Amino acid sequence: KQEVTQIPAALSVPEGENLVLNCSFTDSAIYNLQWFRQDPGKGLTSLLLIQSSQREQTSGRLNASLDKSSGRSTLYIAASQPGDSATYLCAVMTTDSWGKLQFGAGTQVVVTP
């Protein structure tokens, strides 16, 4: 049974610092891994999707890496801004359950001015 863990549960950094968010999963048989952002009381916004065959994806200040063999992904956000304050969730799609995303509980990030 796939389990997805995100540590730490919460993180506070001053503006301008780089953010490093971690995601680990127990079953390496995945199709892809997605990172999402969720603002309080809102739905999810997709940030990056990494295919199982890829090592990383980049979009602007965001970079996500994937090490399938060790069951880890890391989301880097460069030069954080107060607008980056949100909860960040990772989710995996495993090969035995095509279509279904399994989520971690998220890391709540606060960027202080």
Partner 1 sequence: DTGVSQDPRHKITKRGQNVTFRCDPISEHNRLYWYRQTLGQGPEFLTYFQNEAQLEKSRLLSDRFSAERPKGSFSTLEIQRTEQGDSAMYLCASSLDGGGKETQYFGPGTRLLVL
Binding site for partner 1 (CB under 8 A): 4, 31-32, 34, 36, 41-46, 49, 51, 89, 91, 93, 95, 97-106
**Residue with smaller CB distance to partner 1, 46 or 112:** 46
CB of 12 to partner 1, least distance (A): 17
Nearer to partner 1 by Cβ, of 43 and 113: the residue is 43
Nearer residue to partner 1 within complex by CB, 8 or 16: 8
Q: Concatenated DSSP letters for 31-95?
A: EEEEEEEE-TTS-EEEEEEEETT-SEEEETTEEEEEETTTTEEEEEESS--GGG-EEEEEEEEET
Q: How is residue 20 written in tokens?
A: 């490093």
Q: Minimum distance between the CB of residue 93 and partner 1, rounded to whole angstroms?
A: 6
In one-letter notation, the amino acid at residue 53 is: S
Asked if 112 and 83 count as a contact pair (C-beta separation under 8 A), the reply is: no
Comparison of 44 and 62: residue with beta carbon closer to partner 1: 44
